[in-house]
Structure 1
Amino acid sequence: MQSASTEKSSLLSQPKAVWAVGFACIIAFMGIGLVDPILPAIAEKMNASHSQVTLLFTSYNLVMAIAMLITGVVSSRLGIKGTLLCGILIIAVFAALGGASNSIWSLVELRGGWGLGNALFVATALSAIVSLSTAGTAQAIILYEAAIGLGISVGPLLGGELGSISWRGPFYGVSVLMIIAFISLSIMMPKTQQVTKAKTSLLDPFRALKFRGLSTLGITALLYNFGFFTLLAYSPFVMHLNERGLGYVFLGWGLLLAITSVFVAPKLEKRFGTIASMCAMLTLFALTLFAMGIWTSSKAVIIISVIIAGAFLGNNNTLITTAVMQAAPVERSTASAAYSFLRFLGGAIAPWFAGKLAEWFNPHVPFLVGGAFVLVSVLFVLLNRKHLQHIDRAGSAH
C-alpha cells in the first residue's frame, strides 16, 4: 500500500520543465484530432476523392518518418528547448497556411511541412520527458502517453465545433494553439536543458536498428499502423456523420485511449508482461477492424468499434513505447527516432492505400486488410520474441 502511494506521488512530483513539455504535447497532439472530423468536408468542398483526402495523412506521416532521422542531429545541436520551439513554430506556420489553402494538392504539401514540425517536436518531447523526469522511465512514459491521449481526445471535439463553422477553422485553431504552446514553453522551460551531451550523427538511428529488439518493435509498429491509420483516416467516410458528430465519436475514442494508456497499461504489464500484453491488445484491435470490415454498412457498429479501439490502442501505445525505451543500449532520443521512422512509414502508406482499396473494391476491404496487417504484426512479434525477452525481464525487475 505504501509503495503504491509513493508511486502515485512520484508520478505527479515532476520538475516544471516536464509539465511544460507535457502541456505542449497536449496541444501538439490536438492537431491530429482537430483535422479528423473535417476530412469528408474537405473532400466535398475541394471536389476531391477519398484517396486524395487521405493523402493529408500520407504526406504528414511520410515527411515525419524521414524527418525522424534528423531529430537527433538537430536536438544535439539546438538543445531540448530550441528543438521543441522550432518544431512548434513550424507547425504553427504550416497549419495557418493550410487554413488559407484553396486546393487539395497544396493542402497535401502543407501537411507535409506540418509533419516536419511534428517530427522535431514528438521525438524530442518523448526523450525530454523521460530524461527530465524524476520518477523513472516507466512513469515518465505514462505521463507522455497521458498528454498524447488528452490531446487526441480533446482535439476532435474542438475540431468538430470549429469544423461545423468552416473546414478551415481547425487549421487556424491548431496554429493559435501552437502559438500558445510556444509562449508557455518559452517561459516555463529552462534554457540549459540538453537532450544529449554529445553531438549525434545521421547514421545513429540506422545503427540503432541493428539491435534486433528495436528493429522488431519498429517493424511491428509499421505493420499495426496500417490498421491504426485505416481507422483514423478512412472510418470518417463510412460513418456518414457531420463534423460535430465525428468530433464526439473521436472524443470517445481519445478518452478511452488516454484512460487505458495511463491506468490500465501499467497493470497489464505487471500482471502479464509487456510483450504478452502487447500481443493481446493488438489481437483485439485486429478483431475490431474485422468487425468493422464485415459490418461496414452499420453506422452503430462502426461508431462503437472506433470508440472501443481507443482502449486497445491506448494500452498498446504505452506498452510498446515502454518496450522501445528498453530495447537497445542507445540514447533514448536515438531509439525513439529509429522506431518512429519505421512506425510512421506504415502511417504514410496506410491512409492512401485504404482510400484506394475502397475505390478498387468496396468500403469493406480497407478494414479487412488493416486487420490482416495488425494480425501479421502479432505473428512477427511472436516469431521474434527471443529478441524481446530482456524487455520482460527489465519490467519484472522494475
Structure 2
Amino acid sequence: MISSSKTPPAAGGAALAVMFSVVFINLVGFGLVVPLLPFFAQSLKAEAWQITLMFSAYSLGQFFAEPFWGRLSDRIGRKPVLLVTLVANALGYLMLAFAPNIWLAIAVRLFTGLGAGNISTVQGYVADVTPPEKRAGRMGLIGAAFGLGFIVGPGLGGLLTQPQLGHIGYQLPIFVAAALAALAAVGVVVFLRESRAKADPAAPRPAFLSGLKFARDNEVVSRVLVVTLIYMAGFSAMESVFGLWAEDRYAWGAREVGLSFMIVGIVSTLNQGFFAGKLARRFGESRVLAVGMLLFGASLVLQVISPVSWFPATSLELGALSIPIVQGWVIPIVMAFGACGMSLAMPNISAMISRASPPDRQGAMLGLNMASSSVARIFGPMIAGALFSGLGHDWPFLIGALLTIPAAVMAINAGRVIRRQKAAAEAVV
C-alpha cells in the first residue's frame, strides 16, 4: 500500500502554485490547437466526418488513459506520471504538425489523448497536499487554470495562424503548443515535489477492473460518476451543435460563436477561482453541485425559449447616435448563467470523490471520473447530431436540460451518504 509523503509540499501552498502554473501552460497549448484543428484538417483535404473523428479519437484515448494514469500515480507517485504525460503531449503535437494525411493525423490524436489523460493525476496531487475541508476550493483553483488556458489559448492560436500560407500556416501554432508542453514538463522536473511515496514493489497490484468494482460498490463514487456522465454529455452536446443552432436562428458566424464561448470560459474561471470553494464550505459540496446542475439545465431551456429578435431593427437609434444590435445578444448572457452552474461541477465532484476514496485509490477513482467524462464527450456530440437532424434543432438542449434533474438528485443523495458515514465515524470515536 502507498503511504503519503512525510511532509506535504509547503502544506500545499507552494505546490498548488506550481501545479496551477503547469496546468495553465499545458492548457494554453491545448486551447491553442483545438480551435484550428478543423482548418488544419481541411488543409489535409479531410472531409467533415473525418474532422469530427479527430476530436472523437482524442476523447477515446483519454477514456482509456485516465484510469490507467490515475492508478499508476497511486502506485509510483504523481510526479513521474505528470512528466511522462507532458512529454507525450509535446511529442504528439510535433507528430501532428508533420502528419502527411488525415488518417495519420487521427492516429496521432488518439496517441495524444492517451498521453494527455493526466487530469486525474493533477487532481490527485491537489488532494494529497490539501486538507479535506479545503479541497473543493483548491480543485476550483485548478479548474480556473483550465479555464484561463482555454481563454488564452484560442486567442493566441488565432494570432499565430497564417492561413494564407496554406498547410504550413497551421503548423506554427502546433509547434508553440509542443514547446509549451515541454516547458510544463520542465516545470514539473524543476519545481514540483512528489506528494506520495512509492508503493512496495512486492505489494500485489490491483486488477484493472478492481477500480470499477470499488466505484460500483461505493455509494458516493458511483453516484458522482453518473453525475459527471450526465452533465458532460449535456455540455458536449450543446457545444457540438451550438454553432449550427446559432447560425440557423440568428445567422451567426464563427466570430459570434467564438465570443460566446470565450464568455463561458471567463465566467467559469472567475467562478471556480473565487466562489466555488466558499460556496462548498458554506452549503456543502453536494448541495452546491446539485444547484450547479439545475442552473446549467435552466440555461439550456432559456436558450431554446429566448426570442429570435428583441428588436425589429438591427440598430438602436438614439438621436444622431446609431447603436448596432446583434440579434441574439441575450444568448451569451444565458450561456454565462449556465457557465456558473457548470463551473460548480468539476471542483465539487473531484472533492467528493477524493473524500469518499482511501488515499491509495484517489488517483484511480479520479481517473474513472475523467473516463466517464470522456465517454460523455465521445457519445454526447453523436447523439446531439442525431437529435438535431432527426427531431429538431432545439432537442439537444431540451434533452440535456431534462437529464440535469436526475443528476441533481444523485448529487443530493451522495451528500446524504457522506453525512451519514461521517456521523457513523464520529459515533464510533
The equivalent of 1:267 in structure 2 is 278
User: Retained in 1: the 8 A contact 2:123–2:350?
Assistant: no
Letter of the structure 2 residue corresponding to residue 233 of structure 1: S
Letter of the structure 1 residue corresponding to residue 126 of structure 2: I
TM-score by length of 2: 0.76
Question: Which of 281, 288, 292 in structure 1 is aligned with 2:299?
Answer: 288
2:338 is the counterpart of 1:335: no
The equivalent of 1:112 in structure 2 is 110
User: The residue matched to 2:329 in structure 1 has which SS?
Assistant: helix
Question: Which of 59, 62, 66 in structure 1 is aligned with 2:60?
Answer: 62
The equivalent of 1:24 in structure 2 is 22
Of residues 85-94 and 96-105 in structure 1, the stretch that sits farther from structure 2 once superposed is 96-105
Residues of 1 paired with 2:340 and 2:402: CA distance? 19
Note the 1:29-40 alignment, pairs <5 A: 29-38=27-36
Aligned pair count reads 381
Shift of 1:292: 3.0
User: Retained in 2: the 8 A contact 1:65–1:344?
Assistant: yes
Of residues 248-257 and 219-228 in structure 1, the stretch that sits farther from structure 2 once superposed is 248-257
TM-score by length of 1: 0.81
User: The residue matched to 1:371 in structure 2 has which SS?
Assistant: helix
The equivalent of 2:321 in structure 1 is none
Question: Which of 212, 215, 221 in structure 1 is aligned with 2:219?
Answer: 212
Of residues 279-288 and 168-177 in structure 1, the stretch that sits farther from structure 2 once superposed is 168-177
Residues of 2 paired with 1:159 and 1:296: CA distance? 34
Question: Greater helix percent: which structure?
Answer: 1
User: Retained in 2: the 8 A contact 1:256–1:311?
Assistant: yes
User: The residue matched to 2:356 in structure 1 has which SS?
Assistant: coil
Note the 1:1-398 alignment, pairs <5 A: 14=12, 16-38=14-36, 41=39, 46=45, 48-49=47-48, 52-76=50-74, 78-101=76-99, 103-119=101-117, 121-133=118-130, 137-163=135-161, 165=163, 166-190=169-193, 193-194=195-196, 197-198=199-200, 200-201=205-206, 202-209=208-215, 210-239=217-246, 246-294=257-305, 299-331=328-360, 332-382=362-412, 386-390=416-420
User: Residues 267 and 139 (structure 1 numbering): CA distance in 2 closer, same or farther, change over 3 Å?
Assistant: closer
Shift of 1:355: 3.1
Q: Output one character per residue of 1:61-88: Cα deviation in whole Å (capped at 9) or x when no partner.
A: 2221222221244324543221111100
User: Residues 245 and 111 (structure 1 numbering): CA distance in 2 closer, same or farther, change over 3 Å?
Assistant: farther
Shift of 1:304: 3.5
Residues of 2 paired with 1:35 and 1:363: CA distance? 28
Shift of 1:356: 3.7
User: The residue matched to 2:300 in structure 1 has which SS?
Assistant: helix
Residues of 1 paired with 2:351 and 2:199: CA distance? 23
User: Retained in 1: the 8 A contact 2:86–2:181?
Assistant: yes
Shift of 1:247: 4.6
Residues of 2 paired with 1:35 and 1:295: CA distance? 33
Shift of 1:89: 1.1
Residues of 1 paired with 2:131 and 2:305: CA distance? 47
User: Retained in 1: the 8 A contact 2:137–2:347?
Assistant: no
Listed as ranges, the gaps of 5+ residues in structure 2 are: 1-9, 164-168, 309-326, 425-429
Letter of the structure 2 residue corresponding to residue 216 of structure 1: R
Q: Output one character per residue of 1:154-174: Cα deviation in whole Å (capped at 9) or x when no partner.
A: 223223333564555543332
Sequence identity (%): 22
The equivalent of 1:8 in structure 2 is none
User: Residues 208 and 272 (structure 1 numbering): CA distance in 2 closer, same or farther, change over 3 Å?
Assistant: same
Residues of 1 paired with 2:336 and 2:140: CA distance? 21
Letter of the structure 2 residue corresponding to residue 184 of structure 1: G
Residues of 2 paired with 1:343 and 1:355: CA distance? 18
